[in-house]
Structure 1
């Protein structure tokens, strides 16, 4: 089905060391990372959020949302102002952490900064990748098959072929993703003429797209630039997922550094 709905690959591996960053064995709740089937209250909230999203997201719905929110006429604020708003936000789509979203963003950014000190664009990407957090379209195979039965597009023959409404090598930037915070932040960055490299935009839009960077799915739609950017996304992925913990970041200590990056790659005020 080519309104691409994201399917998470469930990892139940023991902790391993990959370079400098050490991948932990369990999330902040003591469960395996991205275990959507764990019988806990947190997982019940996550599953219900995905169930509603998978039923209601259609190709036409996504196009309408992109058109509406692509106008960027809701509010004007800086990147850091948006970060501060996240002090009040807990992502109900995340089974691994129930801390405010800004904690996860800083954990990701700081872990990347430690291992890739010269890639400042990647540090900033870590900070903003979930800046407008909401339900990302990630779930397990067994759940998605059950939930998609209620989606009208499931019975549309146009979408149920290998290429759907697309063509081979068309480029993922031409593919309609399910609507959520990743695609919205991608639109915000582009509309406000960020000077971040294309790999950063690729990471922002596809970091929750696990079939792509975990399983190699949809390669038939990728162009040459996509393949190059995928290498950076695969590097980013372990920091995004496995840096989540209850270890708090001193926001005021790291704020000046990230403010300097925001000034380098974005205008002072953005349209949202």
Structure 2
């Protein structure tokens, strides 16, 4: 698989050495993580993913504000994450604050850090965690094979690739023949579009593909990428360093941070949203 290119982006952490992040081989949480990924790679089939798109694409499950959805993540601990064992809401603020420190002029980028994992609320509405959390991967072709096309055409673009179902960007490519043609419906990405949120395309791309580690950190599936995908890849890599390396058991003061991030929500994703 080769080295992880995101090593170059790793920031200082007060508790863990850089090499200790994303350890899927050992550790206190190994059994939980292993079982989650085993279920994911057993049941995330092409048909399963298509069915999930049909169930969630119309954003008619529930309504709540963006901050309410973040608060709901107080109830969720990500079973696929080998690095943390605390509610996902804290990770949201850790990521956003890391971005705010390094990119103070990009408020939309900070907001992406805050909301990037909100799609995990599906696990609070009936979905098993193996269908919500963890790294994503294309279905319809061999897993992590750098030359297998499966149902796809060379350089067809990630817009046209059907990804495993998860919390961020879940592509729905309506397969009308032996190849794919796109009818894009993603969950959190779809929620942003459905509710007319005004986050720039770079930010939406981060939301869609931040869990696609085989692509942005291992360099796999490049044979499926369009020119647009390659242009957006540096943005996804830049986001990844904050998503991953801001994780710490030193939890942020959420109540102190809440007014600032509410102002960003009011700017880009105001009001009650449909989910």
TM-score bracket for this pair, using the shorter chain length: 0.7 to 0.9
Give the 3-state SS of the residue equivalent to 1:270 in structure 2: strand
Q: How far apart in 1 are the matches of 2:6 and 2:261?
A: 33
Match of 1:265 among 250, 263, 268: 268
How far, CA to CA, are the matches of 1:222 and 1:70 in structure 2?
24
Aligned to 1:148: none
Residues of 1 paired with 2:266 and 2:118: CA distance? 16
Select the structure with the greater relative contact order (CA < 8 A; seq sep ≥ 6): 1
Question: If the length of structure 1 is used for normalisation, what is the TM-score?
Answer: 0.80
Report the RMSD for the aligned CA atoms in angstroms.
3.0
Could you tell me which runs of 5 or more consecutive residues in structure 2 were left unpaired when the two chains were aligned: 121-128, 170-186
Segments of structure 1 that go 5 or more residues without pairing to the other structure are 1-6, 145-150
Aligned match of 1:98: 85
Paired residue for 2:181? none
Contact 1:8–1:138 (CA under 8 A) maintained in structure 2:
no
Alignment partner of 1:117 out of 74, 80, 104: 104
Contact 1:8–1:210 under 8 Å retained in 2: no
Paired with 1:76 and 1:192, the residues of 2 have a C-alpha distance of 11
Matches within 5 A, 1:156-175: 162-175=148-161
Q: Structure 2-normalised TM-score? A: 0.80
Q: Does 1:245 align with 2:248?
A: yes
SS at match of 2:271: coil
Does residue 37 of structure 1 match 2:40? Answer: no
> Structure 1 residues 243, 11: closer, same or farther in 2, change over 3 A?
same
237-246 or 207-216: which moved more? 207-216
C-alpha deviation, 1:220, in angstroms: 2.2
Three-state SS of the structure 2 residue aligned to 1:22 is coil
Partner SS state of residue 215, structure 1: coil
- Distance across 2 between alignment mates of 1:206 and 1:9: 20
